[in-house]
Amino acid sequence: MEQTPYIKENVSLRRFNTFHIDATALYFIEVNDYKQLSELIESDFLNKNPHLLLGGGSNLLFTNNFNGIVVQIKNKGIESFNSTDNTVLVKAAAGENWHEFVAYCVDKGFGGLENLSLIPGNVGSCPIQNIGAYGVEIKDCFYSLEAIDLKTGELKTFHAIDCNYGYRYSIFKGELKGKFAIWSVTFQLNLNPVVHVEYGAIKHELEAKGIENPGIKDVSEAVCTIRRSKLPDPEILGNAGSFFKNPTVDLKFANKLRESFPKLVSYPLTDGNEKLAAGWLIEQCGWKGFREGDAGVHENQALVLVNYGNAKGSQILTLAYRVLNSVYERFGVKLEMEVNVI
C-alpha cells in the first residue's frame, strides 16, 4: 500500500533531538492533527516499518541512523475546565512545549507544576518519563491522558492507576512502549497552591532574593535561575539533561558507604531506602568537565553528558558506559541511564 503524501524520506534528525546528533531517518512525518495520524495508521505503513514517536527530542540519544519511520507529534491546544473552589483541570495537546505550558499555568495562577519549569521537551513526553525535579513529579498533578493505539487508531483514556508510575517510569516505557501515541495530557492543578520549597537550592535562591512568602511565580523563577546556572542550554550545547537516574539503595548499604565516604550526598525516602545523588558519585570519580573529542561531561553538572559539536551518538554512549563502570568500581553502585538510546 502506498505511503501517505505527508511522509518525507532520508531526513536529518539533527534539529529534532537536543543532543544534536546527526542521524538520518529513512522516513519522517510531522503529525499536526488526528486525521494525519489516522491516515498513517490506516495505510498500515506505520506497522510495516520500525517506528519511533518523537516529541521534543529531549530524552533521546541516536547511536545510528533510524531505518524506519520517525513520527513527530506536533498538535497544539490548551484548555481548562471543571474548576472547583480549589482545583482546575488543564488539558494540553502533546505537541505543546513543556516549559511554555508550565509558564501558561503559572501565569493563570494554577499551581503544581512550577517546580518543573524549564525542563526541555513537549507535554506528550512528560508522562512517559514521569519527569521530576526539585521534589515534584508529573504523577503528583497528573489526572489523565489520551493516547492513540497505533494498530487500531482507537483513542483511549489512561488514568494515573493505569500508568503504573514509578521513578522516571511509566507503563509507556514498559509493556506499552511504542504501542501508543500520547495525544493530550490533563493535569489537576491548585487554585490555592501550597508551594514546595523544601529542596535546598530553591530555598537558598529565594532567600538570596529576599522572598519570604513565595508564590508559584517566585518558585518558577527560582527554578529557572537554578537550572540556567547549573545546566547547559540545549539550544547552545547539545545535551539531554540528566543522563543518569539517581540510584536507590537500602539504608544498610548507604550507611556502609558513609563509613568510607562521609560526605556522601543522599536523600531519605519514605520506604526507608535512600536515594543517592548520581551527580556526586560521578564527580567523585573525576568525570566532571571531562572531554574527549566532542563528547564530554558538563563542567557544572556531572550528571549531564554533552555534545560539543559533532560527537556521534556512539561516542556519547561509550563515554556513558565508562562513567557507569567507574562509579560501580569505586562505590559498588550501579547507575541506570535515564536517556532512551536508539
Cell 483511549 appears where?
A: 156
Distance CA 276, CA 205 (A): 23
Residue 316's nearest CA partner among 238, 247, 246 is: 238
d(CA 175, CA 210): 48
Query: Is position 212 annotated as part of the catalytic site?
Result: no
Output the furthest CA–CA distance in the chain (Å, rounded). Answer: 65
Q: Is 168 a residue of the active site?
A: yes
Which class for 259: exposed (0-12), middle (13-18), buried (19 or more C-beta within 10 A)?
A: exposed
The closest alpha carbon to 79, from 204, 184, 225, 207, belongs to: 184
Q: Buried (b) or exposed (e) across 24-52, using 16+ Cβ within 10 A? A: bbbbbbbbeeeebbebbbeeebbeeeebb
Catalytic residue among 58, 125, 184, 242, which?
Answer: 242
Q: Is 322 a catalytic site residue?
A: no
Short-list 273, 270, 271, 272, CA closest to 247: 273
Q: Which of 146, 205, 274, 338 is catalytic?
A: 338
Q: Which of 117, 144, 168, 227 is catalytic?
A: 168
Beta strands in the chain (DSSP E): 8-12, 24-31, 51-54, 60-61, 66-73, 78-81, 87-93, 132-133, 136-137, 142-149, 155-159, 180-190, 238-239, 248-249, 266-268, 274-276, 291-292, 295-297, 305-307, 340-341
Active site residues: 168, 242, 338
